[in-house]
Amino acid sequence: MVDAMRFGCFMVFSAVISALAVQAQRPTADCQAQPQSQFIGDRSSCTFTRLVDRDPRRIPSEIPTVSCRCPDSLCSLLGDFRCREVTETFPVKYKRGRQPRYRSGTVKVTIACVCAINRSIRSPYENIRVGDTGPS
- Cross-sheet strand order for the sheet of 102-117: 58-59, 81-95, 102-117
User: What pLDDT score was predicted for residue 19?
Assistant: 38
User: What pLDDT score was predicted for residue 134?
Assistant: 60
State pTM to two decimals: 0.64
Domain hosting 74: range is: 2-134
pLDDT tens track of the chain, all 136 residues?
A: 444 444 444 343 333 334 333 333 444 567 889 999 999 999 999 999 999 999 999 999 999 999 999 999 999 888 889 999 999 999 999 998 877 889 999 999 999 999 999 877 666 676 665 555 565 5
The 10 Å Cβ neighbour count of residue 24 is: 8
User: What pLDDT score was predicted for residue 7?
Assistant: 40
Nearest to 48 by CA among 81, 85, 78, 87: 85
Q: Considering its fold, how many domains does the chain have in total?
A: 1
User: What pLDDT score was predicted for residue 97?
Assistant: 80
User: What pLDDT score was predicted for residue 42?
Assistant: 94
What CATH number has the domain bearing residue 27?
Answer: 2.10.90.10
Whether 87 contacts 53, CB under 8 Å: no
- Peptide bond before 100: cis, by omega within 30 degrees of 0? no
